Structure 1
Amino acid sequence: LGHGSNVQGLETTATYIPETQEFELHSPTLTSSKWWIGGLGKAATHAIVMARLITQGKDLGPHPFCVPIRSLEDHRPLKGITVGDIGPKFGFNSVDNGFIMFDHYRIPHISFLAKFSQVNKHTGEYTKPPNAKLSYGTMVFVRATIVMGVRYALAKATTVAVRYSAVRQQFVDAANPRKWDNKVIETPVLDYTMQQYRLLPAVASAYACFFTGREMIRLYDLNQEAMQQGNFNLLADLHASSSGLKSLTTTMAIDAIEDCRRACGGHGYSMFSGLGQFYQDYLPNVTWEGDNYILTQQTARYLLKTYRNVLAGKAEASEYNHTVSYLSQYMQNPKAQCPVQKPSDFLNPELILSAFGFRAAYGIAQVAKALDSQRSWNSMLVEISRISKAHCQYILVRNFIVTLQNDPQLQDKSLVRVLRLLACLFALNIMEKELSEFLVAGYFSSEQTQMLKQQVIELLEQIRPEAVSLVDAFALPDYYLHSALGRYDGKVYEAMTEMAEREPLNHTLVVNGYQECIKPLVKSRRQAESAAKL
């Protein structure tokens, strides 16, 4: 209850008692109670509990324990445990998030999860893990799956908004009127450049997060195999990248869900759109498994350490570590400038990657210099967040581009052409949003920024004909979208009307409470008007 991100500050204790070969779990303060645990409120029979391991009089910090919570006979809480639901939340109320407190609750020695560290059953002697970073493995996996999950969140929101924008029509284009069956028709909302500017980058982000999420899972599996052989070379970079990517991509997703809702106009505010409830249910992702702003510090610490190692000649680039590569390139030419001479030059994948690498490296170098000149870590937190974001945007862009170049499954030339346009839009849209950083680094000229903006608009025009196909490719069924606006058959207005007719308020012709509340008001008003006429 009193600690979240500060794991080392957790207060629940697990004291080992050799005489009985048990651990005694205890919550010494109100703030030590566990809070927000999914499924714990009413459903769970067991929980993995992080508690401070105390053995032989030494506090060894948080360790995991598998703890029985409720009886398997009648589901009542076991003696020594206080457990319940934390109450209603902003969203995600289908999950019974709970609290729990322990009162000198005993669990057997086998409850200690001892894959990497052990406590001797007889003496209580502690054996530490061979590498302190082994505990990162689970966090890396969870954060990698969250990044993959962002793809589904973006896919759902953009499918609803793009399909609806293709169906919804507003205003006749006087300069170029459209006709259907010899009648002038209004313009589909998706044909307006502003709507494309709002939605198509989000579609591109869904694909980018899919490719990066898939790559993160692959690297996690490689790292697990390597650690089994005692090789931990991948772990630091993977942990830093997964932390930063979790922060960046979930923020991208929650912002995009709201943008998609707004892009649906007034109907987007209806629960029938499916986007309001979805926003509420997705929102915890920016907080759980690490607060998004705090996670950027983990990424930044790694980036700064790597920068100093490259500077000292102690780091080498590898197939899996591209941080060293872009830092090395920057150090070879810290005054490099963008070679773009015309808008279409921005479609060059190598040029795009060089730009993102230079911007990230420049930011890291500036933060390192500031810290070396005695600036405090706290005073640099805004810049620290920015370098983590720049690094992770580089990863997203790189994985998108490299996948299109190397994935053997991508054989259809017309498909690859569209995806390349989408990759360029994803990268150039980020460049435009983060333009100040490229300018401060001296990488772009004012003329090049105008070319960049022009190319973004041209990409929107090129991608527009494929927009609906790009979201249909996500293959999300209507029951999953749960949206009148995002229906596959496009029957938006029929669905809205049908849902409204099914609403309980429409089951009666006269509202409950009419006799008690509304009628007296109407009657007294009419009587007053009649009296006034007399």
Structure 2
Amino acid sequence: MAAVGAAAKGPYKVQSAINPDIASERTAPGFPLEKLVNLLDGGAERTRIRRAVEHVVNGDTVFSRENEYFLTPTEQYELAVKRAVHLWQKMKELGWMDDGPELQFAYRIMGGNLAFGVHNGVFIPTITELGTDAQIAKWVPLAKDYQIIGTYAQTELGHGTYLRGLETTASFDPSNQDFILNTPKPSSIKWWPGDLGRSANHAVVLAQLYTQEKCHGMHAFIVQIRSLLDHSALPGVKIGDIGPKMAFEHVDNGYLILQNVRIPKENMLNRHSEVTSDGRYIKKSFDKINYIAMVLTRVKVIASEMVIPLSKACVIALRYSVVRRQSELKPGEMEAKILDYQTQQQKLLPQLATTFAFHFMSSSLETFCNQVKVQIKSKGDASSLPELHALSAGLKALISDACSAGVEVCRRACGGHGYSKLSGLPSLYTRVVASCTYEGENTVLQLQTARFLIKCLNKIDCGEPLPQSVSYLYEPVTSHCSAKEKSDFLKPFIYIESYKHRAHRKKAISIADALDYPDKQLNSAIGNYDGYVYQRLFEWVQKAPTNAKENPAYEKYLKPRFRLAQSKL
């Protein structure tokens, strides 16, 4: 890193003036730029707040991203923890509210390189949405004050999107008035939760609820997994980091094994259902209500983890394209800006247009999501949740696919320099491509949205009303294209009429085997010939250095916070 700093002081250092090539592109934009900025921010006042937050963040050395690409994964994790605790201290100092726009902008400005994303973005909201007033009053203040750090343990080695297939169990014991939690086999090990590997001491665990020898489906339970005194795993708990990933090096994704772990009866989040002292199960709402935390998280990540990376990639690629020159169009002339080539415009301009479309689409979805939350919380009305689930599933699949492809287009458009991590593009790509899998695998989500549409078609046959978002299904369908003129293809209904599909699959293992790659050549824990995926994943994870080393971030930043909670729990 010293060499990098020294290079910056050499004869080729960055000049203070703006590159003339990019400056010339900014003359007379043809529209009021500040008004567009306000529109994207959600109003002039929000623009003012955002810029004030940027001033605070950019002026603080703890939040500096200089030399970030040269840090090891362990250093990135420790810095992410340091930043998260420092941001919490800044919030207290400056009077920023937990639900205020300042914190939202701070997260966006720092690019997500903060620890405790699952703690703040999923653990706390899950308790808020699924917990009773008493449970919220007990747990949320401790969590917001970082006296406890929580994670959301849903995904298992053997099940992710198919939540009804989760194998973790929570069995009620009337004699002790508690629940006994177990991950009974390798495929039931909780796998992937962020903040779990090294940070969390509590978890919202999603498990199949059993009372009186009957399964009542998936429910959420608060489970303490590490000691608040020394951060060691509690009895019956095995926990660790799952090892290297494509990106998110600062996030300690982890695994969790529970073996006859007992938790108090009141640790079941029971705003919408409860278990009586004699083991009777009482349902207060419909079965799918426990999925709401996942749906709310999906809505949030569409904007933060999908649209923002594409927008950043567009900015990087477009700016580079007006200062990168290549080829003399005429002998002796200055080489042309690569953005002046139609091929470069065909790559980048559609991505820029897509960014704007997805920005407003995600904003509209978030508005609808907030309406549904209010209906559920204040009126107990969850009738709009299926529509929200279908919209969030379909848009998550569409937007994550498009943004992943779009960032890669931007990266390639920057040529060899786009391959350098220092360009920022590889990190954006590896970050956004993960969104195609987490919070629901895209193919499954597309099928869930399709199922919702089929149900709506059945409602048409019965003359029942449809949700507003699919009211177009009542419109008559013609057997031929309705377009008469070129301009008709700018009308969305033309495309709606054309959406038909057919799917046919044939099982493909033998074809893959014919490629004849030996296991050592594949070097994959999930692609071995013998098919023992979960056992080998767990076996390999034990070799990860992060599972053998001490946790400096815990000693420096978390231990003092956790000990404050010891007398309160």
The answer, yes or no, to whether TM exceeds 0.5 is: yes
1:209 equivalent in structure 2: 358
Question: Does the alignment pair 1:269 with 2:416?
Answer: no
How big is the shift at 1:336?
4.5
Q: 2:201 aligns with which of 32, 42, 45?
A: 45
Confirm whether residue 224 of structure 1 aligns to residue 380 of structure 2: no
CA contact (8 A) 2:404 2:433 kept: yes
Q: 1:309 aligns with which of 449, 452, 459?
A: 459
* Equivalent residue for 1:67, pick from 223, 232, 235: 223
Q: How far apart are the structure 1 equivalents of 2:417 and 2:505?
A: 44
**Does 2:451 match 1:296?**
no
1:237 to 375, 387, 401: 387
Query: Which residue number corresponds to residue 469 of structure 2?
Result: 322
2:434 matched to which residue of 1?
A: 284
Query: Within 2, Cα distance between the matches of 1:202 and 1:104?
Result: 51
The 5-angstrom pairing of residues 346-385 of structure 1 reads 351-360=490-499, 363=500
- Cα distance between partner residues in 2 of 1:11 and 1:268: 43
* Equivalent residue runs for 1:123-138 within 5 Å: 123-138=278-293
Which letter maps to 1:266?
G
Once the 2 structures are TM-superposed, how far is the Cα of residue 128 of structure 1 from its aligned partner?
1.6
Say yes or no: does 1:193 pair with 2:335. no
Instruction: Name the amino acid aligned to 2:474.
Output: S
Correspondence 1:85-484 to 2 at 5 A: 85-120=241-276, 122-149=277-304, 150-174=306-330, 184-227=333-376, 228-316=378-466, 321-325=468-472, 327-331=473-477, 333-340=478-485, 342=486, 345=487, 351-360=490-499, 363=500
Shift of 1:230: 4.4
* 2:458 counterpart SS class: helix
CA contact (8 A) 2:218 2:290 kept: no
**Alpha carbons 1:310, 1:324 under 8 Å: kept:** no
Cα deviation for residue 111 of structure 1 reads: 1.1
Partners of 1:358 and 1:92 in 2: CA distance: 40
C-alpha separation in 2, matches of 1:73 and 1:230: 40
- Quick check: 1:86–1:98 contact (8 Å CA) kept in 2? yes
How far does residue 312 in structure 1 lie from its aligned partner after superposition?
4.0
Distance in 2 (alpha carbons) for counterparts of 1:231 and 1:32? 33
Do 1:64 and 1:113's aligned partners in 2 also have CA atoms closer than 8 Å?
A: yes
Q: Distance in 2 between matches of 1:219 and 1:241?
A: 10
**Is the 1:24–1:105 Cα contact (8 Å) retained in structure 2?**
yes
Q: Is the 8 A contact 1:136 1:239 kept in 2?
A: no
Structure 1, residues 313-353: CA drift from partner, whole Å, max 9, x if none? 3234x6xx13122x22233x44352021x4xx258xxx512
| Match runs of 1:72-87 below 5 Å | 72-87=228-243
In 1: Cα distance, 2:202 partner to 2:381 partner: 34
Letter of the 1:357 partner, please give it: I
Structure 1 residues 153, 199: CA separation in 2 closer, same or farther (over 3 Å shift)? same
CA contact under 8 A between 1:147 and 1:212: conserved in structure 2?
A: no
CA distance in 2, matches of 1:7, 1:108: 24
| Deviation of the 1:236 alpha carbon | 2.0
Name the structure 1 match of 2:512: none
SS in 2 for 1:213: helix
Contact 2:219 2:290 in 1 (8 A): no
Contact 1:22–1:107 (Cα < 8 Å) also in 2: yes
The aligned amino acid for 1:198 is K
- 1:379 to partner: Cα distance: 5.5
Give, as a single letter, the amino acid of the residue that structure 2 aligns with 1:353. P
- After superposition, the Cα gap between the structure-2 partners of 1:131 and 1:380, relative to the gap in structure 1 and judged at 3 Å, is farther
Contact 1:144 1:242 in 2 (8 A): yes
The AA in structure 2 aligned to 1:79 is: P
- Counterpart position of 1:18: 174
1:19 match: secondary structure: coil
SS of 2:344's partner is helix
Residue identity in the other structure for 1:339: K
Does the CA-based 8 Å contact 2:481-2:494 persist in structure 1?
no
Gaps of 5+ in 2: 1-156, 508-569
Residue type at the aligned position of 1:201: P
Task: For 2:291 and 2:230, locate their aligned partners in 1 and report how far apart those are by CA, in whole Å.
Answer: 37
Paired letter, 2:425:
L
Partner of 2:183: 27
Runs of 4+ in 1 over 4 A off after TM superposition: 377-381
2:336, 2:241 → 1: CA distance? 50
Q: Distance in 1 between matches of 2:469 and 2:245?
A: 41
Amino acid at match of 2:418: G
Partners of 1:32 and 1:305 lie apart in 2 by 32
Q: Kindly provide the amino acid, as one letter, of the partner of residue 216 in structure 1.
A: L
Measured in 1, the distance between the counterparts of 2:261 and 2:245 equals 29
Once the two structures are superposed, residues 126-165 of structure 1 have per-residue CA deviations (whole angstroms, 9 ceiling, x without a partner) of 1123222323432321121122222211111111101000
Displacement of 1:282: 2.6
Amino acid in the other structure paired with 2:390: A
Structure 2 CA distance, aligned partners of 1:138 and 1:5? 14
Contact 1:22–1:109 under 8 Å retained in 2: yes
Determine helix, strand or coil for the equivalent of 1:61: strand
Give the aligned partner of residue 389 of structure 1.
none
Over aligned residues, Cα RMSD in angstroms? 2.2
Q: Which residue of 2 aligns with 1:494?
A: none
Distance 2:324 2:419 in 1: 15
Paired residues, number: 349
**TM-score normalised by the chain length of structure 1:** 0.62
Tell me, what secondary structure is at the counterpart of 2:476? Answer: helix
Measured at CA, do residues 322 and 62 of structure 1 come closer, stay the same or move farther in structure 2, by a change above 3 Å?
closer
**Structure showing greater Rg:** 1
Alignment partners' CA distance in 2, 1:298 and 1:154: 25
Give the match for residue 530 of structure 1: none
| Aligned equivalents of 1:97, 1:378: Cα separation in 2 | 36
Give CA-to-partner distance per residue, 1:17-72, whole Å, 9 cap, x none: 11211111112112211111111111111111111111111122221111111111
Q: Give deviations 1:66-118, integer Å, cap 9, x for gaps.
A: 11111111111111111111111122121111111111111111110111111
Would the aligned equivalents of 1:148 and 1:212 in 2 still touch at CA under 8 Å? no
